[in-house]
Structure 1
Amino acid sequence: MTAGLPSTTIDTREMNAVHTMFHREFRLAPGVVRAVGADDTGRARIVADHLEFLTTVLHHHHVGEDELLWPKLLARVPEELAPIVHLMEAQHERVGALLTEIEQLRPQWRATARPADTDELARLLDELYVSLVEHLEAEEERLLPIAARTVTEAEWNQLGEAGVAKLRKQEMPLVLGMVQYEGDPEVVARIVGNTPVLIRWIVPRLSRRAFRKHALAVHGTATP
C-alpha cells in the first residue's frame, strides 16, 4: 500500500450505473430526433427539452469529476494517471465541443423543427454518442480501478452528493428512475442511501412513475 492512501478499496459501481443510463439515453437520442416530423414544433419541444435535460445532467456529471475526483487522483497517484490524463482530457474536450454545438442548435430546432436542422442535430447526436461511449468505457476500464483504491468512501460519497445537489428537486425522481431502469437494485439502493433523509424517503417512491411518464412522452414506450 502506498503511504497516505486508503487501506481498503471502495465500491465504484454507482458510476457504472450512471454510465449505463447515459449509454441508453444518448444511443436513443438521434432516432428520437429523426422521428420528429417536418415543422412539428409540438413534438420538437418535447424532444428538445429531453435533450436539454440529458446534456445538463451529463455536464454536471463531468464537472463533479473535474472538481472532486481528478484533483485527488492527480495529487495522490500522479505517475499512474500520467498515461491517461491526456486521453481523458482529449475525450472531455471532444464531448464538450459536441455538447456546445448541440446546445447552440437545439433552441432553433425546438422553435421551428426544420428538416435541415433535424438532420444536423441528429448527426451531432450520433457523433456525441460515439465519443461519449469511448470516454465512458475508458473511464470504467482505466480510471475507476485507480479511484477505487485511491479515494476514501467519504470522498466518493461526496462526489454523488455534489451531483444530487446540482439537480432541481423536481428532477431527482426522473434521474433516479433513469438509473433505476437498468441499474442493479443493490447499487441503486446504495445511491439512494447516500442522499439526505428526506430525498431518501420521497424520491424512490416517485422515481419509477417519473421515468415511465417521461419515457412514454419521449420514446412512446415505458420500456425504451
Structure 2
Amino acid sequence: MTTLLPGQAAAPAGPADLSMMYVLHHGFRRDLARFVEAVHLTPLDERRTWRALLERWDLFARLLHDHHHKEDEHLWPLLRAKVDTAGDRAAARVLDAMESEHAAIDPLLEAVHSGFSSLAGAPSATVRAGLAADLARARDDLGAHLGHEERDAIAIAILQRYVPGEEWSDVERSKFRGGLAPGDLVRLLPWCVEDLPEDVSGPLLAEAGLVFRAVLRLGRPRFGRLERAAFAHVPAGVGA
C-alpha cells in the first residue's frame, strides 16, 4: 500500500507488505481524535453516552494492547536478532525506544479508562478536565510512537531492510493474525475499515476472502450502533 492514510508518517515501497499495519495505525489515530472531541463535546449529564464511550474505549484499548503485545512478543525479537547479527547499533537503539514507548503508553490507557468509568457513573467537571488532559497526552504520545515506528522501525530502517517479503508474510500469517476472542474479532473488522478510503479497503477485503467479508457484514450493525452512541456529539469526519 503506497497511499498515505491520515496522519501516517511514511509508507515507502519495500519487500514486506505492511498494509494491515498501516490500517491498524489509522484506526488508532482516528479513534484518539474522536475521543478527544467527544470528551469536550459530550454533555456531562448524558450518562448513556459516557457509558458508550467507556465501552468504545475498552474496545480501542484491547485492540491496541493486542497489537503491541504481538510486536513485543514476535516482531521486536525477530528484528533484534537480525540487527544484532548485522551489528547495526542504530537499529538496536530504535528497537529499545519502541519497547520503552510501549511501556509508557500502558498507564495512559488505564488513566483514560478510569476517567470514562467515573463519568459513566456520575457527572464531574473536574474528572472531565483530567480525562481531557489524559486523552490529549495519549493522542500525542501514541501519535509520536506510531510515526516513529513508521519512519524508523518499520517502514525504512529495519523491517524493510532486514525482513524479506516472504518471511514477513509468514510472520504476519502465523503470529499477527488471530489471538483475539471471537467477539473482538467480529468488532475488529468493522473497526479496521471505518473511514478507510475505498481504494485502500476494497483491495484489502478482496484479498481477505469470503470468510472475512462475512464476518465484516456480521459485525457492522453492532459496531455502528456503538459508534453512533459513543460519538453522538462528534462532528462527522473527525479522524477520517
1:47, 1:218 within 8 Å by CA — same for their partners in 2? yes
Q: Does 1:124 align with 2:130?
A: no
Matched with 1:27 is 33
* Residue 99 of structure 1: how far off its partner (Å): 1.5
Which of the residues 39, 57, 61 maps onto 1:55? Answer: 61
C-alpha deviation, 1:21, in angstroms: 0.8
Counterpart of 1:200 (choices 212, 226, 233) is 212
Q: Distance in 2 between matches of 1:127 and 1:69?
A: 26
Is 1:172 paired with 2:189? no
Query: Alignment length, in residue pairs?
Result: 209
Determine if the alignment matches structure 1 residue 85 to structure 2 residue 102.
no
Partner Cα distance (2:189, 2:205) in 1: 8
State the 1:222 CA deviation.
7.3
* Structure 2 runs not aligned, ≥5 long: 1-13
Is 1:42 paired with 2:52? no
Shift of 1:219: 1.9
Name the aligned partner's letter for residue 86 of structure 1.
D
Conservation of the 8 A alpha-carbon contact between 2:36 and 2:132? yes
Report Cα offsets for 1:148-190 as digits up to 9, x if no partner: 44261111222331xx322x32332332112113151223444
Deviations 1:49-107 (CA, angstroms, capped at 9, x unpaired): 11111111111110111011111111122325213123223322221221132233332
Do the aligned partners of residues 59 and 113 (structure 1) sit closer, same or farther apart at CA in structure 2, a change above 3 Å counting? farther
Question: Does 91-100 or 114-123 show the bigger shift?
Answer: 91-100
- 1:103-150 alpha-carbon deviations (Å, 9 max, x no partner): 333322321132211111121011100001110111111122322442
Gap change, CA 1:95 and 1:68, over 3 Å in 2: same
Question: What amino acid sits opposite 1:131 in the alignment?
Answer: D
- More divergent stretch after superposition (89-98 vs 129-138): 89-98
Pick from 125, 130, 140: which aligns with 1:115?
A: 125
Go from structure 1 to structure 2 and tell me whether the alpha carbon gap of 1:143 and 1:24 turns closer, same or farther (over 3 Å shift).
same
> What residue in structure 1 maps to residue 4 of structure 2?
none
Report the AA paired with residue 31 of structure 1. E
Give the letter aligned to residue 219 of structure 1: F
Pairing 1:105–2:111 present: no
| Paired letter, 2:188 | V
2:219 corresponds to 1:213: no
Structure 1 counterpart SS, 2:42? coil
Aligned to 1:187: 204
Which letter maps to 2:136? D
Q: 1:147 aligns with which of 155, 159, 168?
A: 159
> Which structure exhibits the higher relative contact order, with contacts defined as CA atoms closer than 8 Å and separated by 6 or more residues?
2
Match of 1:137 among 119, 141, 147: 147
Task: Give the fraction of aligned pairs with identical amino acids, expressed as a percent.
Answer: 22
Q: Which has the higher helix share?
A: 1
Give TM-score scaled by structure 1 length: 0.82
Show CA shifts across 1:189-216 (max 9, x none).
Answer: 44x35xxx8x535313234434433322
Quote the Cα distance in structure 1 between the aligned partners of 2:205 and 2:17.
13
Residue 30 of structure 1 contacts residue 122 of structure 1 at CA under 8 Å; is this kept in 2? yes
Structure 2: which amino acid aligns with 1:71? P
